[in-house]
């Protein structure tokens, strides 16, 4: 385990700055997730930490050691990619052990380490198989195992579950959370899936256009966003942003999450027409058109019997509203 300190990190491509002086400190043994829209710089940041890209300026310190100018092999970092990157001609055992053999470890010690990691990841029955004989989830476990077997100071994951189907992603999330509890290795995890970030990470970092908008514990960021970008990015369905004028509230915009809106067919403060119903079993999402406030999304738990076209009435939970100024900054 090791702490990671990123200071004033900048990176440009063809004159376009994609990282704008980032500062971040990650404690030893912590699990951090980087989230943000495509092109926000999160994968570029990960590759700079790994040593696959050079920063234009700034520094990276791992366990107090400046690794900014070191090649990847000298950084004591293991990275798992979205594409698995397995050697097709090697068995599972061969893929797990290749890094150790290249580092000069004896065959006996390599085999011992491979068997240990295979047991942790339930890969023991698959050690003689080739990658093309494995499922997507099994290939991803091999890719993770290849990183684990080196016992690095820092794990980097770049969207490792994005190629898996929905049910397998849920299963792998549970496996990865359990793996981190057992190993305790400092981890940075890049994902576009906020569910992965919220359920796996100790802390999340929300990035936008090469800048860190906010970082903190997942539920702190969810309940207490600094600005409209963070408030709108974290949460699904996304937060409603309403003109404060018709509501008589502070600031320029009122933010209210869909689950903080009650819907009735008989009475309420805001009248509207039900445009669309999304029935998901565990929840029901209602898309409602109002004259005063535009379109509003409400989230109700469980199956709710609503019909598109119906007249409905809304009430907003005043205690949970958030207020933002004209620049989108939070008014606290």
pLDDT of residue 111: 92
Over residues 13-30, the mean pLDDT reads 96
Same fold, 4-230 and 237-331: no
Choose the weakest-confidence range: 1-5, 26-30, 162-166, 303-307: 162-166
**Is the distance from CB of 21 to CB of 10 less than 8 angstroms?**
yes
The answer on pLDDT for 164 being more than 80 is no
The answer on pLDDT for 31 being more than 80 is yes
What's the DSSP call for residue 238? P
pLDDT of residue 163: 77
pLDDT of residue 32: 97
Domain boundaries, the chain: 4-230, 237-331
Cis peptide before 237 (omega within 30 of 0): yes
Is the CATH number 3.30.565.10 carried by domain 4-230?
no
The answer on pLDDT for 82 being more than 90 is no
pLDDT of residue 187: 96
Instruction: Please state the pTM of the whole predicted model.
Output: 0.89
pLDDT of residue 100: 87
Strand pairing class (31-35; 203-208):
parallel
Hey, what CATH class is 237-331 in? mainly beta
Nearest to 30 by CA among 204, 191, 174: 204
């Amino acid at each position: 385990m090791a702490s990671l300190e990123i200071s004033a990190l900048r990176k440009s491509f063809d004159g376009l700055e994609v990282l704008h002086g980032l500062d971040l400190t990650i404690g030893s043994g912590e699990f951090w997730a980087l989230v943000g829209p495509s092109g926000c710089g999160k994968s570029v940041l990960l590759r700079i930490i790994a040593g696959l890209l050079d920063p234009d300026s700034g520094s990276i310190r791992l366990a107090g050691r400046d690794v900014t100018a070191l090649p990847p092999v000298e950084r004591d970092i293991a990275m798992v990619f979205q594409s698995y990157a397995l050697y097709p001609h090697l068995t599972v055992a061969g893929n797990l052990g290749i890094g150790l053999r290249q580092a000069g470890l004896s065959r006996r010690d390599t085999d011992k380490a491979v068997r240990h990691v295979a047991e942790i990841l339930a890969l023991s029955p698959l050690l003689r198989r080739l990658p093309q004989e494995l499922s997507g989830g099994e290939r991803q476990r091999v890719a993770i195992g290849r990183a684990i077997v080196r016992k690095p100071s820092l794990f980097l994951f770049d969207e490792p579950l994005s190629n898996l189907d929905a049910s397998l992603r849920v299963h792998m999330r549970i496996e990865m959370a359990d793996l981190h509890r057992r190993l305790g290795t400092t981890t940075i995890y890049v994902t576009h899936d906020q569910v992965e970030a919220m359920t796996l990470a100790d802390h999340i970092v929300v990035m936008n256009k090469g800048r860190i908008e906010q970082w903190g514990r997942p539920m702190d960021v969810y309940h207490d966003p600094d600005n409209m970008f963070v408030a709108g990015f974290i949460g699904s369905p996304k937060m409603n942003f309403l003109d404060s004028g018709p509501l008589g509230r502070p600031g320029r915009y009122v933010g209210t999450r869909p689950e903080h809106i009650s819907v009735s067919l008989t009475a309420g403060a805001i009248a509207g027409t039900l445009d669309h119903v999304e029935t998901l079993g565990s929840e029901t999402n209602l898309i409602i058109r109002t004259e005063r406030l535009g379109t509003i999304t409400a989230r109700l738990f469980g199956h709710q019997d609503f019909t598109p076209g119906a007249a409905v009435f809304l009430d907003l939970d005043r205690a949970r509203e958030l207020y933002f100024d004209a620049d989108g900054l939070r008014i606290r």
